Structure 1
Amino acid sequence: MNKTIVAAALLAASAGGASAQTGLSIYGIVDAGYVRESGGVAGTTNKISSGVGSYSRIGFRGTEDLGGGMTALFQLESGFRVDTGEQDAAGSLFNRQAFVGLKTRAGNLTIGRQYTPWHQALAQVGDPWGTGYAGGAKNLFPDYGSNVRTSNTVQYSAPPLMGFNADIAYAAGEQAGDNKAGRQFGFSVGYSQGPLNVRVAYNNKNTDIAAAPGVTPVDRSVGTNRMLVANYDFGVAKAYFAFSRDKGFNSAPLGNNANPYGGVPATASTDGNEFLVGLTAPLVGGTVLASYMRKNDKTFFNQDARSWGIGYQYPLSKRTHAYVAYGVVNNKNGAGYTVANNTEPGTGDRAFNLGVRHSF
């Protein structure tokens, strides 16, 4: 639950005695745990890691009532490492999110560094792990790089209507002389009513490099991601499903570009798909999580992979959870997929997590 720093402040307007209400809150997650990874070229690795289940972060949210049903808003969020106390991205203060915008009855319009609709669909609807822990979708799904968040982004979120929701985002490439080079756009449309939650998402990424003095232009194929995700709450358990189709250059970036298994060098697929089924279920006061995934690489390399994971979360309070998780990846034909967690791409084909997560 957010700690409210400024609950409300009334500001006298220069005309008509009008007033505006402002609010500022600080929030965050502190997550740390023991991680054991094995199966990589370096052998077994034992370490204390930050952000195993959820990325450790601190953030600020603010709003101002502008009147007439319009509200100004902003959000600034920075990642950090609990194990060392370091800033997560050197030289970038608010590397996770940094945007400002307006909220109206017609929806929200925000500008800055933001999550992509594709990532939000996977994390919020399709993955029982929320893309964290050793069993999360990051093991095989391309939830890395600009598939997760983009800078220079304008995003519109429609207000919920009869259970339907929608988001659309455009990230400018900002390369002189070429409006298409480096740009990215995407959208999602969903329906959430009762026990059913379903969403479709699309991502389109241009990684061309425009001609400039001293710069050789590069023309690449456009990378696209098309995804269907859903979950359904049966009461005794909640079932999850995700299917993503990836096509084109950099559509499916690898979290770990090194090849820990030998054979054909690991190559990021430019034509393939991922499939996930999972569940969560209450057990002895906590929650069991499980998932099974498959990667189908349709390129010449045929670097397929399968992954499964199982874990347990136990609430120590409303804001603090202890967790344990175990994940396995089976690679074929020199594929280089590794068991990841929310913050790290991993180094091997097996990993064990044990830790604690606190939110404020």
Structure 2
Amino acid sequence: MKRYVLTALIPGALALPAHAQSSVTLYGLLDVGISYAVGSQKAVVNGRPVGGGNQLAMTDGAFGLSGSRWGIRGTEELAAGLRAIFTLESGFTLNNGAFAQGGSEFGRQAFVGIESGAGRLTLGRQYDPHLDIVAPFSAAWQFGGYAATHPGDVDNLLSTRRLNNSIKYTMPKIGGLSAEALYSVGGAAGSNARNSAWSLGAAYDGGAMRLGTAYLSVRNPNVAFYGANPNGGGVAANNLGSLGSATTPESNPLYAGYASANAFDLFGAGASVTWQAATAALIYTNVRYTGLGDVATSGPNPLGYSGTAAINTIELNARYQFAPALLAGVMASLTRSAPVGGHDGAWYRQFGFGASYALSKRTTIYTTAVYQRASGIDSTGNAAVASISGLTPSATHAQTAVRADIAHRF
């Protein structure tokens, strides 16, 4: 991706030591496409979704391979091998020009820090180690886009959610080994744990074989994780999703009933093997909403849940580089929501395809297709419906979506 680098001229620069160099890089990505979904619901009546028919829409690439964004990245060389760094990155929806990430001006990333041979320390709004280390093994990152994430992006593999008030350390790579650690300060008076989060991750890059694993734990996730955007509500609001109503469809029915969880714990692991132009990857994630029923500091509990809700997903994907400009891949995943609240839980089976063709080093066209089938009882206490990420859930147990995009980097 070509960058346009601007040299920052500081008053009195002639008086600075010769090694004190500063630079600022302006960069961005524009991505928009047309999507078609079959059987989207329009409301929930007496616990049963009502179909609204097929849906044709133009949406930003956030629902494809890459959300539109622009950013500024800067560095300044300091003494003793230190370097000051910063990144401000703003997401927006290209089809209507609105801010993404719930209206955040710099909702994708906003941090400042120091780096040296001993590693990198940054503070601000950042990605957690699970996203940095495990997510790249997923089909969603490689070729499938947002629709290929697991239902509702339950394991946050495509950065639906970020962490505010975070302190992050990234160690320098030693051989093929790397690691990250993060702590998000809760900021609640009288309780250092409330609204806080921590995460650890490690990876190994052996060339043909890559491995990665990470753990993320968030206290009061309805507020600190799902509600960490300007449009997020507090304890009284359900930021995880919606149970639907007679006038509105559901949103994230896989886990929308768990807003009262006192903690959100996520473990993930991935592995990939590359042979010539082919790469195959396996990924596993375990999500746990623990301490359900915490209406005082977490969120509403309309279904009266208690205890723990666990969601496990396993995914297998493969991609092939047919030519320098042409990439294609396929994926299959199985998501299991364990029983909670007296029901048997739900199953989600998903299959996806993606292909991209680079018209140049900066401009790419691509297409994706996903099919999902659901069964059992979901977190709303109703029969599970298919819920492809980024789309209005289906009125039935099955859903299909196809998409075509154009993306341009600068």
TM exceeds 0.5?
A: yes
The verdict on how the C-alpha distance between 1:202 and 1:116 changes in structure 2, with shifts beyond 3 A counting, is: same
The answer to whether 1:229 aligns with 2:270 is: yes
Work out the CA distance in 1 between the residues paired with 2:99 and 2:160.
22
Deviation at 1:282, TM superposition (A): 2.1
Deviation at 1:92, TM superposition (A): 2.2
Deviation at 1:335, TM superposition (A): 2.6
Deviations 1:225-258 (CA, angstroms, capped at 9, x unpaired): 111112111114100111011222499xxxxxxx
Equivalence map 1:134-283=2 (5 Å): 136-139=148-151, 141-144=153-156, 148-207=161-220, 220-249=261-290, 270-283=309-322
Which residue identity does 1:160 align to in structure 2? K
Say which structure is richer in strand: 1
Match for residue 112 of structure 1 among 124, 129, 132: 124
Deviations 1:94-127 (CA, angstroms, capped at 9, x unpaired): 0111000001111000000001111222332333
The verdict on how the C-alpha distance between 1:90 and 1:192 changes in structure 2, with shifts beyond 3 A counting, is: closer
Deviation at 1:187, TM superposition (A): 1.2
Match for residue 105 of structure 2 among 81, 88, 93: 93
Deviation at 1:308, TM superposition (A): 0.6
Correspondence for 1:303: 346
Correspondence for 1:293: 333
Deviation at 1:68, TM superposition (A): 1.5
Work out the CA distance in 1 between the residues paired with 2:291 and 2:355.
34
Contact persistence 1:272–1:299 (CA under 8 A): no
Which residue identity does 1:39 align to in structure 2? G
Contact persistence 2:349–2:373 (CA under 8 A): yes
Correspondence for 2:34: 34
Contact persistence 1:132–1:138 (CA under 8 A): no
Match for residue 335 of structure 1 among 384, 390, 399: 384
TM norm structure 1: 0.85
Say which structure is richer in helix: 2
Correspondence for 1:55: 67
Deviation at 1:336, TM superposition (A): 4.2
Work out the CA distance in 2 between the residues paired with 1:219 and 1:49.
31
Deviation at 1:130, TM superposition (A): 4.1
Correspondence for 2:362: 319
Which residue identity does 2:115 align to in structure 1? K
The answer to whether 1:351 aligns with 2:401 is: yes
Deviation at 1:69, TM superposition (A): 1.1
Work out the CA distance in 2 between the residues paired with 1:48 and 1:208.
31
Q: Is the partner of 2:360 in helix, strand or coil?
A: coil
Work out the CA distance in 2 between the residues paired with 1:69 and 1:337.
53
The sequence identity of aligned pairs, in percent, is 26
Deviation at 1:316, TM superposition (A): 0.6
Deviation at 1:142, TM superposition (A): 1.2
The verdict on how the C-alpha distance between 1:298 and 1:208 changes in structure 2, with shifts beyond 3 A counting, is: closer
Which residue identity does 1:352 align to in structure 2? V
Work out the CA distance in 2 between the residues paired with 1:229 and 1:209.
27
Deviations 1:260-286 (CA, angstroms, capped at 9, x unpaired): xxxx9xxxx821210000011023651
Q: Is the partner of 1:61 in helix, strand or coil?
A: strand
Which residue identity does 1:329 align to in structure 2? Q
Work out the CA distance in 1 between the residues paired with 2:372 and 2:260.
34
Deviation at 1:19, TM superposition (A): 3.9
Deviation at 1:37, TM superposition (A): 0.9
The unaligned stretches of length 5 or more in structure 2 are 42-51, 224-234, 237-258, 293-302, 377-382
Greater shift, 234-243 or 149-158, is seen at 234-243
Deviation at 1:48, TM superposition (A): 0.8
Deviation at 1:85, TM superposition (A): 1.6
Root-mean-square deviation (Å): 2.8
Deviations 1:9-37 (CA, angstroms, capped at 9, x unpaired): 683446xx454100100111110111001
Greater shift, 187-196 or 284-293, is seen at 284-293
Which residue identity does 1:312 align to in structure 2? A
Contact persistence 1:122–1:130 (CA under 8 A): no
Q: Number of residues paired by the alignment? A: 334
Contact persistence 1:22–1:64 (CA under 8 A): yes
Q: Is the partner of 1:174 in helix, strand or coil?
A: coil
Contact persistence 2:143–2:328 (CA under 8 A): no
Which residue identity does 2:183 align to in structure 1? Y
Deviation at 1:154, TM superposition (A): 0.3
Work out the CA distance in 1 between the residues paired with 2:167 and 2:274.
33
The answer to whether 1:66 aligns with 2:116 is: no
Which residue identity does 1:44 align to in structure 2? N
Which residue identity does 1:99 align to in structure 2? F
Greater shift, 241-250 or 24-33, is seen at 241-250
TM norm structure 2: 0.75
Contact persistence 2:40–2:392 (CA under 8 A): no
Q: Is the partner of 1:118 in helix, strand or coil?
A: helix
